[in-house]
Amino acid sequence: MTTAGVWHPVALSASIEPGSSAGTHIDGKEFVVWRDNSGAPHMWEDRCPHRGMKLSFGFVRGDHIACLYHGWQYDTAGQCRYIPAHPELDVPGSIRVPVFQTVEVAGMIWVATEPTESAPPAPQETGETVSVRSVFFGAAIDAVLAAIETTPPRPFSGEAAASVLRQIDGRLYALTVGSDTLLLGLHSLSGERTALHVVIAGPAARYSGKGQAHFLAWTAELRHRIETQPAAAVAA
């Protein structure tokens, strides 16, 4: 069963440090991805129920995120727990932010945009990974996939050989070159913008530093190719 359209990669795990938050989009909708101080990731609608301020501008305090505007604090279930202007108030359960199921797989944070009970299992991929980067393109997912196939990286280790791009599940792909494998998370920001989250499948002892720099340079080449050539030429 494919999870395309349900599970979306939204960030590299390494990009969202404990106690931090960031805004992102999926298919044009706004979300906040944040990590509490115990390290658990969360992804919510990026809108405070009070005045609509983006929660991604807020502050993480322990296992709560606080809105920048009036300091309303929400627990990890999205329930408002504290309103600074009314410290004695027993905050009603109706003041709640829509939250989405979030997991970490393949060195990336994934979110299900359907309710938990109807979402299929998240993509499965185990093993050590080394983060490379998230790279953003002014192009749709299909154009990015086509460019990856026509502009593969050179191997960091092993003999040069034809690259193989394989869909693991939904938006998770494996790109093998030589004896290296990259895991690629394709993230549709909107119909015309895509983020590509790139990690190396392998041990840090082998890929940290030079290996990361090697594939980082490839992502820059890829972006240059996509953004300087017409879509038809990239797909050709």
Partner 1 sequence: MKAVSTETARLSFIGRLVPPSFAEFCDRRAEKLDLKMAIRSVATDRFTVEVSGQPDLVDAFEMACSLGPLDCLVLDYERTRIHSIANGE
Rounded-to-integer distance, Cα 184 and Cα 172, Å: 6
Between CA 189 and CA 10 the distance in angstroms is: 9
89 versus 164: smaller Cβ distance to partner 1: 89
Between 49 and 155, CB nearer to partner 1 = 49
- Residue 86 binds partner 1, judged by CB under 8 A: yes
Under the binding rule (CB under 8 A), the answer on residue 95 touching partner 1 is yes
Provide long-range contacts, Cβ within 8 A and 24+ apart, for 165-169. 168/123, 168/125, 169/2, 169/3, 169/7, 169/123, 169/124
Q: Is residue 53 at the binding interface for partner 1, with CB under 8 A as the rule?
A: no
User: Which window, 13-21, 65-73, 90-98, 190-198, contacts partner 1 (CB under 8 A)?
Assistant: 90-98
User: Which residue, 88 or 159, is less far from partner 1 as judged by CB?
Assistant: 88
Minimum CB separation of residue 75 from partner 1 in Å reads 16
The answer to whether 89 contacts partner 1 (rule: CB under 8 A) is yes
Q: Which stretch binds partner 1 (CB under 8 A): 82-90, 133-141, 194-202, 213-221?
A: 82-90
Shorter beta-carbon distance to partner 1: residue 93 or 230: 93
Among 1, 92, 116, 228, binds partner 1 (CB under 8 A): 92
Nearest alpha carbon to residue 107 among 31, 199, 44? 199
Cβ atoms of residues 197 and 12 within 8 Å: yes
CA distance 72 to 136: 32
* 185 within 8 A of 196, measured Cβ to Cβ: yes
Q: Which residue has the tokens 């509490």?
A: 36
Positions that interact with partner 1 (CB under 8 A):
49, 86, 88-90, 92-95
